[in-house]
Structure 1
Amino acid sequence: MPAKDIYHDAVKNALIKDGWIITADPYPIKYAEVKLFADLAGEKTIAASRQGQQIVIEIKSFISRSPMRDFETALGQYLIYKALLTIDYPEQKLYLAIGQKVYEDFFQQVAIKFILEKYQVSLLIIDLQQEEIIQWIN
């Protein structure tokens, strides 16, 4: 089992505050001989349609001295998880959860925005102190 990210509980609490039910912590992703773990999975019933929305969350803290290196690792992990989820669970939406400060300080760079758009990375921006969702970016 992988170690939890330092912001794991803050992200989990923000999702719960927003009405999500955590269905897995961590969430196993299996294909052939590969077994990986995303940080969380959640579900939310949408009253109008009575259908549940399902998400998988990969949490990244970006606390090393090199945010670019952290980004390279996070992007690689995100793309692997996204590809494997499409095999058996195409209805699940994958999000990369990051803190608001990292989003404002690093993810607003032109090159980073280009990469996010190119690879269709969905983000979940969290206020880590208040444990609240700031923004969903698809």
Structure 2
Amino acid sequence: MSRRDNLHFSLRRTLEKDGWTITDDPLVLVLEHTLLKADLGAEKFFNAEKEWHKIAVEIKDIDW
């Protein structure tokens, strides 16, 4: 697994406080012969819309 950026846990906590459920940490997707990785996978149920929303998050911290 690659090194987590400094913002990883802060962003994860922020998503969880906003009602998102972290489903994968990291999120790994396989498409045909390609392996894709994102830092987080999350989902949230919106009652008003009655549907699930899912996101994949890639976190980058740039040291200047």
Which structure shows the bigger proportion of residues in helix conformation? 1
- Higher strand share goes to which structure? 2
**C-alpha distance in 1, partners of 2:36/2:48?**
34
**1:28 maps to which residue?**
28
Is the deviation greater in 48-57 or in 8-17? 48-57
1:61 and 2:48 equivalent? no
Separation of aligned partners in 2, 1:6 and 1:33: 31
Relative to structure 1, the CA distance from residue 36 to residue 2 in structure 2 (aligned partners, 3 Å threshold; closer, same or farther) is: farther
Q: Cα offset for 1:34?
A: 2.1
Is 1:5 equivalent to 2:29 in the alignment?
no
Per the TM alignment, residue 6 of structure 1 is displaced from its structure 2 partner at its CA by: 1.6
What 5-or-longer segments of structure 2 have no aligned partner? none
**Displaced runs of 4+ in structure 1, greater than 4 A?**
none
Q: Within 2, Cα distance between the matches of 1:30 and 1:38?
A: 12
Describe the SS at the equivalent of 1:44.
Answer: strand
Secondary structure in 1 matching 2:12: helix
> What's the CA shift string for 1:1-42, capped at 9, x where partnerless?
222112110000000011100011000022222212100011
TM-score w.r.t. structure 1 length?
0.44
* Unmatched 5+ stretches in structure 1: 66-138
Between structure 1 and structure 2, the one with the greater Rg is 1
**Matched letter for residue 15 of structure 2:** L
CA RMSD of aligned residues (A): 1.2
Aligned residues: 64
Shift of 1:50: 1.9
